Structure 1
Amino acid sequence: MQILVLAPYPPYPPRGGGALRIFHLLRILAQHHRVTLLTFAPDAAAAQALSSLRDWLELHIVMGPPHRSLRQRAFTTLVSPLPDMALRNASPAYVTTLNNLLVSGQFDVVLAESIEMAPYLIQAQRHGLRTTLDEFNAEYLLQRRAAINDLRHVFRPKALVGGVYSLIQWLKLAAFERHILQTVDRVLVVSAEDEAALRRLAPRACLHLVPNGVDCTYFAPPVEAPHPTNDLVFVGTLDYRPNVDAVLWFVHEVFPLVKRMHPALRLRLIGRRPHRSLLSLHDDRHIVVTGEVADTRPVLAEAAAVVIPMRIGGGSRLKLLEALAMATPIVSTSLGAEGIPGLRNEEHLLLADTPSAFAHAVSRLVTDRTLAQHLGRNGRLFVCAGYDWSQIAARLEAAIRW
């Protein structure tokens, strides 16, 4: 088959959840199909970094997407019927390049990565091509959770503004996702929870579960396990709203309780583009905002524990899968571990949803290293048995062929 993949940002280097998923799906598809990738790149350095993909696929790059100011986003939030995500990657240059490819190529399927690229599938359908959307999240559900979370704090101006914005986006996304689900030929979803949420919007949509995965060969604990540091580690894109919310909740509600029991522990934040609200937390003693690192494996191998205090979100967490593969002990909220069936509290990780329970779970892992190691071993066995990308390949093949 000849497959055209539309990406909203560079999938290489594969850093961040979306880029990781796109990269591994591309790698799987390129083993048995002719793959063409049309992707945005924000600058010349990002475009140059993509060049290594030319060894196994045909690559086309459009610089962008065009910058949208906060004022423009606020205006469209008020006047456009479309959600912000449907407008985020609007680009005349991308439209032109896509049209040229559709006219000159003999594609069997056009696969759009994330709801941001869904509008371009309409263009592909005008050429009579089969279309597939890869939904990273049930986006309307994510915004619904964000709205409910923020509107609980109506007396905080920033929370009120964020809640109103999420409420508007929730309603717009529900309508937009329903339309897309009823329009495209197939939709890939990453979890059973997302599948159920999207089914509520469009009962007749053709949905296929293709979960997120992890490379268990690459993410593997070292043979000589290092002595754990005093670091509690959070890994994720640090300007992504659910991650920012998770870190702020942990810092303000959970970490003070942890510090009373274990004064030597510190929190280390790993990830791209730290939001200013997170940068302001850095004190170089108790909280360290490291930012992006080229390789997270040494950090995960040495961590006292990984914390995943998510309160907003959907899909499934690639950072959770990677920590499990590294046999790192984990404390997560129930929402942070959502989307991975079979993952069990007290067997593979610890789950806690209140500040006191979360702090107590962290303390258990720090003081009982036998428990921490037991959970780490079980977690790796679990994730490598069912979530290695090599096992997900068959699901992707079944979903993409028809």
Structure 2
Amino acid sequence: MKILFFSQRFLFPMDTGGKIRTGNILAQLGQLADLTVISNVENEKDAEYIPLMENLCKKFVAVPWSEPKRYTLGFYFRLALQSLSRYPVSVLNDFSPALEQALKAELTNEQYDLVVCDFLQSTLNFRDVEGVPTLLFQHNVEAQITQRHYGKAQNWFTRLFWGLQHRRMLRHEGRMCRRFDGIVAVSNEDKAIMENWYQAENVHVIPTGVDTDRFKPDDNIQEKKQLVFTGSMDWLPNEDAMAYFLESIFPLIKEEEPDTGLVIVGRRPTPKIVRMAQGRGDVQLTGWVDDTRPYISESAVYIVPIRIGGGTRMKIYEALAMRKALVSTTVGAEGLPLVDGEHIYRADTPEVFSKRVVELLRDGLRRRQLGEAAMNYVFENFRWKIVAERFLDICERVTATGNGR
């Protein structure tokens, strides 16, 4: 089977959940199908990773691109202009005429059985694809995220902004879900939303996976009285999660266990999080790291206090594969078939969240029991090879039934 996989974002380094999911699927898919990948590449930053990308597929088409700098005067000016568009800002940010032209050229020069569009944010570059079956890989229901941002907005300006973004995202995401021949969702919950909100048809579900060879317990590292969170800190749901935790949950934990530390592992911490952590000896911001595992291994409890989001959190499976006791909000563990009290603890108020964390900090045996049960469950059901085989099966079915609209 000949597949063209199209993504606005270069996969390396795999420092976001979406990149990790896509990269691990492609690593398996490249062994099962004739795979070509097109994506943007920032020349200087990404050059060292291009050989890794080429190893995943038969052919890699690199399109030069430069990501605009964030939190500059130009960034905010562009954001103001984008706010006037009929498209959501997050989709406009990833528009690339050069990438759109590269896709057209590849489809003119080669025949493919299927074209896969990775992420809704890539769809503005996918406008004129016709005559070949198409599959949209939806890592999240993006309108669910904008809806949750709107619900958490704390002033009239952010409420106005997110209200507009939510309406635009509903329109755009709905059009795209109805346009593609097939859709891949990452949870049954996301599938149901797309079917109910957009009347989307031919929605398929793949589970979230984990690299169990890479993420496993390291008994040589001694646990500290420390909590850990991992994730791209320039993604607003992660910023909100850490702001919420630092403001509302961590103080309650410190009242009970004053010597507890927190390490926040992830690229590009926003100015807000930097300010909140500044001058605190009990909070460490690592920024980007090439390996999150040592930080997870040395921490007693993994936390996921996410209130805004969609899709599924691969960070949870990574932590569980390392036998970590984990406390999450319901939104944080959304879409994952994990049982409260058996695999993880769920907690949706600061009081309950802090109580669960303190319980685990004080009871090493309970930490071990929870971690062992979750690790075994993840290993048996969610290895990437299983996920990739399911993804290829979906590709074959969409190819057989798609009309290339």
**TM-score under structure 2 normalisation?**
0.93
Amino acid at match of 2:61: H
1:373 offset after TM fit, Å? Answer: 0.4
In 1, distance between residues paired with 2:228 and 2:258? 16
In 1, distance between residues paired with 2:212 and 2:341? 22
Say yes or no: does 1:73 pair with 2:71: no
Cα contact 2:178–2:199 (8 A) shared by 1: no
2:387 to 374, 389, 392: 392
In 2, distance between residues paired with 1:173 and 1:191? 20
Say yes or no: does 1:60 pair with 2:65: no
What pairs up with 1:52-131 in 2 under 5 angstroms? Answer: 52-57=52-57, 58-64=59-65, 67=68, 69-78=75-84, 80-125=85-130, 128-131=131-134
1:236 offset after TM fit, Å? Answer: 0.4
| Identical aligned residues as a percent | 29
Q: Secondary structure at the match of 1:374?
A: helix
Q: In terms of mean alpha carbon deviation, does 186-195 or 282-291 score higher? A: 282-291
1:75 offset after TM fit, Å? Answer: 2.1
Q: Secondary structure at the match of 2:129?
A: helix
In 1, distance between residues paired with 2:200 and 2:226? 47
**Distance of aligned partners of 1:63 and 1:162 in 2 relative to their CA distance in 1, 3 Å threshold:** farther
1:134 offset after TM fit, Å? Answer: 0.4
What is residue 268 of structure 2 aligned with on the other side? 273
What pairs up with 1:266-345 in 2 under 5 angstroms? Answer: 266-280=261-275, 281-283=277-279, 285-341=281-337, 343-345=338-340
Cα contact 1:255–1:359 (8 A) shared by 2: yes
Deviations 1:94-150 (A, max 9, x none): 12222211111111111111001123333222xx11111101100001110110111
What pairs up with 1:361-380 in 2 under 5 angstroms? Answer: 361-380=356-375
Amino acid at match of 1:365: L
1:204 offset after TM fit, Å? Answer: 4.2
What pairs up with 1:204-223 in 2 under 5 angstroms? Answer: 204-222=200-218
- Tell which has more relative contact order, 1 or 2 (C-alpha 8 A, sep 6+): 2
What is residue 142 of structure 2 aligned with on the other side? 139
Structure 2, unmatched stretches of 5+, are 69-73, 401-405
Q: Secondary structure at the match of 1:337?
A: coil
What is residue 352 of structure 1 aligned with on the other side? 347
In 1, distance between residues paired with 2:53 and 2:96? 23
1:232 offset after TM fit, Å? Answer: 0.6
Q: Secondary structure at the match of 1:141?
A: helix
Deviations 1:154-192 (A, max 9, x none): 3xxxxx332222111111111111111111111110111
Cα contact 1:308–1:331 (8 A) shared by 2: yes
**Distance of aligned partners of 1:117 and 1:65 in 2 relative to their CA distance in 1, 3 Å threshold:** farther
In 1, distance between residues paired with 2:145 and 2:200? 22
What is residue 157 of structure 1 aligned with on the other side? none
RMSD of equivalent CA atoms:
1.5
Cα contact 1:66–1:90 (8 A) shared by 2: no
Deviations 1:7-48 (A, max 9, x none): 122212322111111111211211111111111123423133
Cα contact 1:282–1:288 (8 A) shared by 2: no
In 2, distance between residues paired with 1:239 and 1:190? 22
In 2, distance between residues paired with 1:35 and 1:275? 36
In 1, distance between residues paired with 2:2 and 2:278? 48
In 2, distance between residues paired with 1:288 and 1:44? 29
1:352 offset after TM fit, Å? Answer: 0.8
Cα contact 2:194–2:200 (8 A) shared by 1: no
**Number of residues of Structure 1 aligned to a counterpart in Structure 2:** 390
Cα contact 2:313–2:333 (8 A) shared by 1: yes
**Distance of aligned partners of 1:32 and 1:348 in 2 relative to their CA distance in 1, 3 Å threshold:** same
In 1, distance between residues paired with 2:106 and 2:351? 56
In 1, distance between residues paired with 2:226 and 2:46? 32
